[in-house]
Amino acid sequence: MSSESQHIQQQSTPAAHIIMVLTGIAMISGFLVVLTSQLTAPFIAENQRVAIESAVNKVIPGSIIHREFILTNDGLKPPEKGIDGQSIYAGYDADGKLLGVAARASAQGYGGMIYLLYGYDPQCQCIRGIKVLKMAETPGLGDKIIRDPAFQANFDELDARLDPSHMALLNPIVTVKHGNKKEAWEVDAISGATISSKAVGKALNASAQSLLPKLLPVIGQLESAGK
């Protein structure tokens, strides 16, 4: 072997060794990531289930029994993987009477997306409560949507009636400037947290406009499911 070939081999050997080491590290890291994900997935799922259960209790007052369904274009389906539709949670009292339906909604706030769960009461055709699930709003300002009692009172009986065609809300849910609420479908904003307040109104309006026309035809099925 020529001295030139030996020189090339000596230069390439360290690089090849480094590549092998890095490849091994990457494989081990990937394995650990997958293993960690598999080990923690059940705990994460359980924590999410508990969080949703607590939220449903808040937005459907008096509910004791909760059942999840997938609302599709073809009606109600059991909560199985691969079904295309929206998850909803029916809340029943101890006797199996349907008290309301909870669904998720979201909209862009000041610091990021605001994710919430809201409860719909088919008897009054109104929203009975909201629970913020996740947000990144400014502490002391935007997070007042969680803590402010007057703002939360907007959702004691927020009008969400459908129009005669049952294809849209009779009155879109809107957020108005603090102190200007005059209608049952209006959300009175928090002074100093207007963007966050408007995000809640937008989230509820967008979800209700899409969900309620599909929900109304299956209310009877939901009522029977509690018996």
Indicate if 178 and 71 belong to the same structural domain: yes
Residue partners of 186: CB distance under 8 A and separation at least 6: 173, 174, 175, 176, 180
Rounded Cα gap, residues 79 and 213, in angstroms? 20
Do 170 and 138 have their domain in common? yes
**103 and 134, same domain (yes or no):** yes
Specify whether 54 is located in the same domain as 85.
no
DSSP, res 142: T
Segment among 11-25, 57-71, 119-133 with least mean pLDDT: 11-25
CA angle 204, 224, 46 (to 5 degrees): 60
- On whether both 95 and 127 belong to a single domain, the answer is yes
Q: Are 206 and 108 in contact (CB under 8 A)?
A: no
Residues 46 and 77 both lie in one domain: no
- Give me the pLDDT at residue 8, please: 47
| C-alpha 55 chain-centroid distance | 11
Give residue-wise pLDDT tens across range 159-200: 999 999 999 999 999 999 999 999 999 999 999 899 999 999
Residues 210 and 98 grouped into a single domain: yes
Domain count across the chain: 2
Q: Are residues 43 and 87 in the same domain?
A: no
Domain boundary among 12, 43, 59: 59
What is d(CA 164, CA 162) in angstroms, rounded to the nearest whole number?
A: 7
| C-alpha to C-alpha distances, 61 to 26, 102, 130, nearest whole angstrom | 51, 11, 11
- In 3D space, the residue among 192, 47, 67, 63 whose CA is nearest the CA of residue 134 turns out to be 47
pLDDT tens figures, 144-155? 999 899 999 999
Q: How many CB atoms lie within 10 A of CB 215?
A: 20
**Residue 26 confidence class, pLDDT cut points 50, 70, 90:** confident
- pLDDT-derived band at 11, boundaries 50, 70, 90: low
Q: Give the residue numbers spanning the domain of 195.
A: 60-225
Same domain, yes or no: 28 and 85: no
Strand partners, 186: 174
216 and 184 both lie in a single domain: yes
Which amino acid does the sequence have at 4? E
**Average pLDDT over every residue of 108-123:** 94
Question: Which residue among 11, 30, 59 closes a domain?
Answer: 59
Do 109 and 213 lie in one domain? The reply is yes
Beta strands 98-108 and 186-188 are unpaired
Low-confidence winner among 26-30, 84-88, 154-158 (lowest mean pLDDT): 26-30
Listed residues 59, 79, 109: the one ending a domain: 59
Give the tens place of pLDDT for each residue, 81-111: 888 899 999 999 999 999 999 999 999 998 8
pLDDT at 216: 94
Per-residue pLDDT reduced to its tens digit, 31-53: 777 766 666 645 444 455 456 77
pLDDT class of 211 with cuts at 50, 70, 90: very high
Query: What is the structure's pLDDT at 196?
Result: 95
Q: List, as one string, the DSSP characters of 112-128.
A: SEEEEEEEEETTTTEEE
Same domain, residue pair 197 and 125 = yes
Structure confidence at residue 100 (pLDDT): 97
